Every structure is written in structure tokens, then in C-alpha cells.
């Protein structure tokens, strides 16, 4: 049943399979230092690192971690904003033979502690003071990993050898929430993380002449794999930005002659709408890759005509597969706006029951960390990853996402799972039941609205509900509005009819 398609033009066995220098992160960095040694690898404020210097710092960090007790197969958790410190610490952990476990900097202390415990992290590398919070202070008194390193760190080099890495060795564990509200750690081997990075770089025609402003958080697969790893593969210059600020973004584009700027549509809309845009020279821009929300045709056209982008692409991916489909540089604005492109990275694509998007290929995750039941539910015996998204495939093999089997919505580029919010609300005295839905928002794409039924004898206000959520959930998960009901609409089987709630907020 459904439309099956295998796209072979970017077959990774052709571009990577025979090249061991592209099969492990350590080999990729060695290759980059050899090919692009004196070229700028990373620019962060006043600090400019060549590829040779980056490799040296990464090796020092790796040896320091080994000296502290990190061993091959351990997991190293990392919580820090986009900066050179994140890049060096992450690559250092991987070079030490550990699996990297990035942690969302917007997580609350409880969410961070959950990832640390379930990943069984041996070390925790953390830039604790960021966005007005001290993350280590918030975790004081908790049972934390035995090795704690506060970033930025003065890494002490140890005279020790670095371990040899294998392409099938665990490279990273990227935690993502599930529809049950419980986060799951998607595991990828070195060859897989590099495989999707190479496919993205090939499709975007990334090269050593590119200067890549990475606003997408490094703790997400896009910032880490389609950002850092893709740049290492091609010798591009990494320019990290901690948080999106439109004025700072324009300043960096002009100062650093940025050529590549991916992100959600809201980033480009903010650039286009800024009153001072014409005061900055943004003419160096050439490549934009967007998605995670509706992309109007007019936005694509304005990005090309007013922001100098010669190439605007849309893509589709998820933590379990990273980048699965992508438009191509010669696609029309209509194709870019209305589809997510066609498969890459050796992915097969088809539609299953109820037109669910199914993916199969060498870069589908290894599975969920310590969760065989969730793994079996996500990947069927034939190797197909069930995404939970509903789509259609046109005669050219281009995918369009039309709906979600899951209730997940996307707020400012971040996936939000209502079940997690509903579980948090269940702990608020006075909440008998709740249902959270995503509704359209011009700036963020979608925001949450909590529909609440109060317990008899209780009265709650919108402000009380939102404040309760703020103390327990990352900011992008906090509902932006609350509506109270005597009862939630349900079908004959007792299931809440969320589509009716969405209509109320449309």
C-alpha cells in the first residue's frame, strides 16, 4: 500500500562508503585539518580558530576527559549555548570514545536531571550561567554524574593516546519527547550522523568557501549534524549565534560575510520585516534551508529577491532520521513552499496506513536508548520508521506533510508534545483534566492553548495555570493561553476530540 520511492542521486555509498576519512568524526576532523589547515574553522566573537587549531583544541579536550576517567562507551552530557566551547567540548567527548548526549538549554532542572539519569552520563559538561539561570545551582543536592566540568573550561592536557573509533560505534544520543510525554534517546552511530550530514551538505552544495551562521541550537540534530558536522565535512567556517536576535544576526551576516543561514521561517520573516534591514549589507547570503512550519510562496520569493538568497530549500526530518527529504537547488518557489522535497541520504519513502509517512534506510536511528518497546513501536520488522506524520507524495516523488497522527505541534522551530504538558497540568491542584492543542501564530508558527476542566470547588485563572507550567516546562512548551470548559468534547469511545478544540481557536 502507498507510494514507495528510493532516490539514488545522492547515494551515500558512492560519496562516503569507500572513504574511511568520512566514516568517523575523528577521521573527518583529521581530514579537514589536512585539507583546510589554515582556513577558518570557527569564528566566535574575537576568537578565530583555524582547522589546525580546532583539531588541536579538540584533542586536548579529549585527552583531558580521558584523564578525568571518561572511557570509550561512556556517555557525556553537554548543556551549553551555541559557542566554540560547545563545539570543542562535543567533539572532544566524541574523540574520547564517548557518546555525546546534548541537553536542551531551555530544559528545567527536572527535565535536565531526567536526561542525566536515564542516559547514565559519566560526565556532565555545563555552561551553567545562561539566559539568567545557573543550571548547576538548580541541580544542587541532586545525584549528578561523577565528573562535572563547568564551561568554559581550561582543559588540562594529559599525555595519553586517543582511542580508535569505529564507524558503527555509538556517536550520539539525541533526546526527544514522545507522544506519551516521556523523552526518548535516539541513538546514532558515527556513520549515520556523518551520513545525513554529508547528504545535507551535498544537497546544499556546501563548500570550503561557505561561512555558516548557525542559529539552530547545537543541542538539536539540525544545529549539530546539519551544522557542525556538515561544516567539518566540507571545510566551511562555523559562526555560532547563541540566541536569535535579528539585529545581531544582520551584524554578523555583514561582518563575517555569511553565505549559509538555515532556520525556521520566522527568522527570515524577522529579517525581511526589520526596519533597519537596508542599513546592513546582506548580499553575501546564498543558501537558506527552512521547514518546521508553513512556508508561503511569497516568503520564498522575497528571500530570493530581497535577501539575496540564490537558493532556498525546504526539508523534512526528525530526530530519529535527521534529514530525510529535501528540495533541490533548481526547484521552483512553488515546489519549495508546498513540499519538503524528495528523499536523500539513501532513504526510502512510502505512505503506510492512513497515509502515514514511513522511512527506511541506513541512517534510521539504531533505536531508543534502553527502550526496546518504544524502538519496536517506532521501527517495524521490515525496518520502516513510522514517523507519525501524515503526508502525500506527488508524481515526482516529492513529499508534502499534511497533518500529524501525533498531536505534536511546532513552536518557534521546537517540537512540542501536548501529552507532556497535560501530564504537568495534572499535578496542578484544581485541574480535573486538560487537553493542549497547537494553534497558528504569525511569529512562532504555532503556540499552545490549554483547555482545562477544573475540579469541583476549585477556581483557577489563566495566569495561575501558565505560571505553574513555567516552573516545570521549557518556555516553548508553556501554553500561551488557557481556556476553561465544563467538559471536554469526546467521541463515543471517550477520546477527546482535539480537532474540535482547534476549531475553537482557529
55-69 pLDDT, tens digit per residue, is 999 999 999 999 999
Mean pLDDT of 278-286: 97
pLDDT over threshold 90, residue 447: yes
Distance between CA 139 and CA 492 in Å, rounded?
A: 45
Q: Compute the distance between CA of residue 141 and CA of residue 255 in angstroms, rounded to an integer.
A: 44
pLDDT of residue 22: 77
Contact 410, 447 (CB under 8 A): no
* CA–CA dist 198, 365 (Å, integer): 16
pTM for the full predicted model: 0.84
Q: What is the pLDDT of residues 49-100, one digit of tens each?
A: 999 999 999 999 999 999 999 999 999 999 999 999 999 999 999 999 999 9
pLDDT of amino acid 418:
86
**Which residues are registered as beta bridge partners of 31?**
none
Separation CA 446–CA 500 (nearest Å): 17
| Domain extent listing, the chain | 1-24+168-406, 49-165, 409-505
CATH architecture of the domain with range 409-505: 2-Layer Sandwich (3.30)
Look over the chain and give the mean of its residue pLDDT values, rounded to a whole number: 91
Rounded to an integer, what distance in angstroms lies between the CA atom of residue 469 and that of residue 474?
9
**Domains 1-24+168-406 and 409-505 fall in the same CATH topology:** no
CB 206, CB 326: distance < 8 Å? no
Q: Is the pLDDT of residue 14 over 90?
A: no
pLDDT tens-place string over residues 411-422:
998 888 887 898
Q: Mean of the pLDDT values across residues 280-285? A: 97
Average pLDDT over residues 151-161: 92
Q: Band the pLDDT of 3: cuts 50, 70, 90.
A: very low
Per-residue pLDDT tens digits for 287-319? 999 976 667 788 899 999 999 999 999 999 999
Buried-exposed string 352-365: b where 16+ CB fall within 10 A, e elsewhere: eeebbbbbbbbbbb
Backbone angles phi and psi of 307, in degrees to 5: -110, 5
Higher-confidence residue of 42 and 8: namely 42
Q: Which fold has domain 1-24+168-406?
A: Rossmann fold (3.40.50)
The answer regarding whether domain 49-165 maps to CATH 3.40.50.980 reads yes
Per-residue pLDDT, 6: 41
Residue appearing with cell numbers 495555570: 465
Amino acid at each position: 500500500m502507498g507510494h514507495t520511492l528510493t532516490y539514488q542521486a545522492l547515494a551515500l555509498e558512492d560519496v562516503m562508503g569507500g572513504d574511511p576519512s568520512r566514516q568517523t568524526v575523528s577521521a573527518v576532523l583529521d581530514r579537514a585539518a589536512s585539507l583546510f589547515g589554515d582556513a577558518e574553522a570557527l569564528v566566535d566573537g574575537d576568537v578565530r580558530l583555524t582547522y589546525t587549531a580546532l583539531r588541536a583544541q579538540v584533542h586536548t579536550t579529549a585527552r583531558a576527559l580521558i584523564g578525568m576517567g571518561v572511557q570509550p562507551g561512556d556517555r557525556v552530557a553537554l548543556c551549553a549555548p551555541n559557542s566554540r566551547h560547545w563545539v570543542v567540548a562535543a567533539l572532544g567527548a566524541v574523540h574520547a570514545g564517548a557518546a555525546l548526549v546534548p541537553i536542551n538549554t531551555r530544559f528545567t532542572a527536572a527535565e535536565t536531571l531526567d536526561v542525566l539519569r536515564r542516559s547514565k552520563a559519566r560526565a556532565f559538561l555545563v555552561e551553567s550561567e545562561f539566559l539568567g539561570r545557573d543550571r548547576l545551582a538548580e541541580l544542587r543536592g541532586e545525584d549528578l554524574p561523577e565528573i562535572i566540568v563547568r564551561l568554559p573550561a581550561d582543559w588540562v592536557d594529559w599525555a595519553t593516546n586517543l582511542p580508535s573509533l569505529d564507524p558503527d560505534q555509538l556517536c550520539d544520543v539525541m533526546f526527544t519527547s514522545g507522544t506519551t510525554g516521556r523523552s526518548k534517546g535516539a541513538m546514532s552511530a558515527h556513520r549515520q550522523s556523518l551520513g545525513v550530514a554529508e547528504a545535507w551538505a551535498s544537497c546544499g552544495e556546501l563548500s570550503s568557501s561557505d561561512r555558516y551562521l548557525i542559529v539552530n541550537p547545537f543541542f538539536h540534530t539540525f544545529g549539530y549534524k546539519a551544522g557542525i558536522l556538515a561544516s567539518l565535512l566540507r571545510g566551511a567556517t562555523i559562526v555560532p549565534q547563541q540566541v536569535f536576535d535579528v539585529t545581531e544576526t544582520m551584524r554578523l551576516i555583514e561582518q563575517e560575510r555569511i553565505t549559509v543561514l538555515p532556520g525556521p521561517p520566522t527568522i527570515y520573516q524577522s529579517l525581511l520585516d526589520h526596519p533597519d534591514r537596508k542599513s546592513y549589507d546582506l548580499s553575501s547570503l546564498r543558501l537558506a534551508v527552512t521547514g518546521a512550519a508553513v512556508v508561503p510562496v511569497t516568503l520564498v520569493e522575497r528571500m530570493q529577491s530581497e535577501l539575496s538568497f540564490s537558493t532556498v530549500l525546504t526539508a523534512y526530518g526528525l530526530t530519529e532520521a535527521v534529514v530525510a527529504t529535501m528540495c533541490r537547488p533548481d526547484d521552483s518557489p512553488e515546489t519549495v513552499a508546498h513540499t519538503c522535497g524528495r528523499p536523500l541520504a539513501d532513504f526510502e519513502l512510502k505512505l503506510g496506513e492512513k497515509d502515514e509517512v514511513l522511512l527506511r534506510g541506513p541512517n534510521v536511528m539504531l533505536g531508543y536508548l534502553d527502550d526496546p518497546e518504544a524502538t519496536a513501536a517506532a521501527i517495524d520488522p521490515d525496518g520502516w520508521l513510522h514517523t507519525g506524520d501524515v503526508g502525500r507524495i506527488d508524481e515526482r516523488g516529492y513529499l508534502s506533510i499534511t497533518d500529524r497522527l501525533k498531536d505534536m505541534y511546532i513552536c518557534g522551530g521546537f517540537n512540542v508534545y501536548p501529552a507532556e504538558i497535560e501530564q504537568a497540568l495534572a499535578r496542578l491542584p484544581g485541574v480535573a483534566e486538560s487537553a493542549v492543542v497547537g494553534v497558528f501564530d504569525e511569529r512562532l508558527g504555532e503556540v499552545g492553548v490549554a483547555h482545562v476542566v477544573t475540579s469541583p470547588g476549585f477556581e483557577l485563572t489563566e495566569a495561575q495555570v501558565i505560571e505553574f507550567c513555567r516552573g516545570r516546562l521549557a518556555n516553548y512548551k508553556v501554553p500561551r493561553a488557557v481556556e476553561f470548559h465544563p467538559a471536554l468534547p469526546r467521541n463515543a469511545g471517550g477520546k477527546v476530540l482535539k480537532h474540535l478544540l482547534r476549531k475553537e481557536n482557529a
